[in-house]
Structure 1
Amino acid sequence: MNRETTNRIRFVLEDVLPPFLRDSGVFRWAAKRVWGDHISHLARFRERAPFLSAEEYAELYRNHPRVHEGTDNSAACIDRIVGSIEGGSICDVGCGTGALLSRIQSAHPNLTRLVGVDFVIDDASSLAGIEYVAAKVERLPFADGEFDTVICTHVIEHILDYRQAIAELRRIAKRQLIIVVPREREYRYTFNPHFNFFPYTHSFLRAVHPVPPTFVCDDIGRDIFYMEDRQATN
């Protein structure tokens, strides 16, 4: 399934179904027909978010079914990211399979450095010219301003301490920071292990406060594309 399909499904589930039904046992029963007991595990996961151990967090992600093939990004978001690259050194934090890095590499063959970061890198493809590093977004093993462009897509919604994560992304970005998160509402029963929900673009702007002088924050097909000029703040 691709991102465009899931975004159409999300429109029905989040904007058409009334909240009282979406949070009900009836919805949980119907969702279990598709997702099994994992739908209840996800609800308990969010309820216990402040108390989860590192092992519990990792265990859920190990067992979480992959919804999208290759990447969580839509084609429109990928095109926007690829067209927004600045400089020669790029870091994709939360790189997953490395699909986005592969697209960037194809579009920009003269880049000097491509680095993918994830807390588990087993799924990453072994592509020539791409370096993979296992690390958490809250504690990135890089120097200040080490990369010209830093990208982080479909990660911030998973991070309990998302302000620390955003601070780290800003710290290592020299010229450009790009973040993509889903535009979605919170309900008790969902099909994803998200902690943070941003139903509007201005909801996400509150999350990245203080907003720098030069930025972009657009809704691209139920995903929020945010980009800020780090040179204007450094």
Structure 2
Amino acid sequence: MNRETTNRIRFVIEDVLPPILRDSALFRQAASLVWGKHITKLARFRERAPFLTAGEYEDLYREHPRVHAGTDNSQACIDRIVASIVGKSVCDVGCGTGALLSHIKVGNPCLERLTGVDFVIEDAAGIDGVEYVAAMIESLPFSDGEFDTVVCTHVIEHVLEYRQAIAELRRIARRRLIIVVPREREYRYSFNPHFNFFPYTHSFLRAVHPVPEHHLCIDIGRDILYMEDRPEPIA
């Protein structure tokens, strides 16, 4: 299933169904017909977010079914990201299967360095010229300004310490930072292990405060694409 299809489904269950129904046992029972007991496990996962161990966090993501084929990004987001790459080096934090890196490589053949980061990299495809690094977004093993462009899609919504994660992304980005998150509302029963929810573009702007002068924050389908140009380092 691609992102465009799930976005249409999300419109119905997130915006059309009233909250009193979305948080009800009736919805949980209906959702269980699709995902069984996993729908209840996800609700419990969010409730226990501040108390989860690293092992519990990792186990949930290893067991969580992959909904989208290859990438969580829509084609419109992919096209915008590929066209927005600057410089010679790119780091995709939360690279998953490496699908987005493949698009970036094809669309930017002059790149000299492509790096994919995820805390579980077993699913990452072997792509010529791409290096993979296993790491947590809250503590990235790179120097300040190591990459011209840093990309992070569909990750911030999963991270409890999201402000620390955003600070790390900014730290390693020398020229440009691109972030994509889903535009969604929080309900008790959901099909994803998200901690953070951004129903409007201005909701995400609060998350990335302070916002630099040169930035973009737009709605693409049911996703929010945020891009900022990093300040030039003082010589």
TM-score (norm 1): 0.99
Q: Return the letter of the residue paired with 2:165.
A: A
Query: Which residue of 1 is the match for residue 104 of structure 2?
Result: 104
Query: Which residue of 2 is the match for residue 148 of structure 1?
Result: 148
Query: What are the superposed Cα offsets for residues 148-207 of structure 1, whole Å, 9 maximum, x if unpaired?
Result: 000000000000000000000000000000000000000000000000000000000000
Q: Secondary structure at the match of 1:117?
A: strand
Q: Secondary structure at the match of 2:152?
A: strand
The verdict on how the C-alpha distance between 1:74 and 1:223 changes in structure 2, with shifts beyond 3 A counting, is same
Q: Secondary structure at the match of 1:231?
A: coil
Tell me if structure 2 keeps the 8 A contact 1:2–1:68: yes
Tell me if structure 2 keeps the 8 A contact 1:176–1:231: no
| 1:200 equivalent in alignment to 2:227 | no
Q: Distance in 1 between matches of 2:188 and 2:179?
A: 25
Matches within 5 A, 1:13-162: 13-162=13-162
Query: What are the superposed Cα offsets for residues 102-154 of structure 1, whole Å, 9 maximum, x if unpaired?
Result: 01111111101000000000000011100000000000000000000000000
Tell me if structure 2 keeps the 8 A contact 1:212–1:233: no
Q: Cα distance, 1:232 vs. partner?
A: 5.7
Query: What are the superposed Cα offsets for residues 200-223 of structure 1, whole Å, 9 maximum, x if unpaired?
Result: 000000000000011000000010
Q: Return the letter of the residue paired with 2:104.
A: I
Q: Cα distance, 1:233 vs. partner?
A: 7.9
Q: Secondary structure at the match of 1:76?
A: helix
Q: Distance in 1 between matches of 2:21 and 2:123?
A: 36
The verdict on how the C-alpha distance between 1:208 and 1:233 changes in structure 2, with shifts beyond 3 A counting, is farther
Q: Secondary structure at the match of 2:210?
A: coil
Which structure 1 residue ranges, 5 or more long, are not aligned? Answer: none
Q: Secondary structure at the match of 1:195?
A: coil
Q: Return the letter of the residue paired with 1:97.
A: T
Query: What are the superposed Cα offsets for residues 58-85 of structure 1, whole Å, 9 maximum, x if unpaired?
Result: 0100110000000000000000000000
Matches within 5 A, 1:174-185: 174-185=174-185
Q: Distance in 1 between matches of 2:63 and 2:177?
A: 31
Q: Distance in 2 between matches of 1:165 and 1:188?
A: 25
Measured on the aligned residues, the alpha-carbon RMSD in Å equals 0.8
Q: Secondary structure at the match of 2:231?
A: helix
Q: Distance in 1 between matches of 2:85 and 2:60?
A: 33
Q: Secondary structure at the match of 1:203?
A: helix
Q: Return the letter of the residue paired with 2:77.
A: C
Q: Return the letter of the residue paired with 2:50.
A: P
Q: Distance in 1 between matches of 2:65 and 2:232?
A: 40
Tell me if structure 2 keeps the 8 A contact 1:137–1:165: yes
Query: What are the superposed Cα offsets for residues 32-67 of structure 1, whole Å, 9 maximum, x if unpaired?
Result: 000110000000000000000000000100110000
Query: Which residue of 2 is the match for residue 8 of structure 1?
Result: 8
Tell me if structure 2 keeps the 8 A contact 1:214–1:232: no
Which structure 2 residue ranges, 5 or more long, are not aligned? Answer: none
Q: Return the letter of the residue paired with 1:140.
A: L
Q: Secondary structure at the match of 1:125?
A: coil
Q: Distance in 2 between matches of 1:129 and 1:144?
A: 22
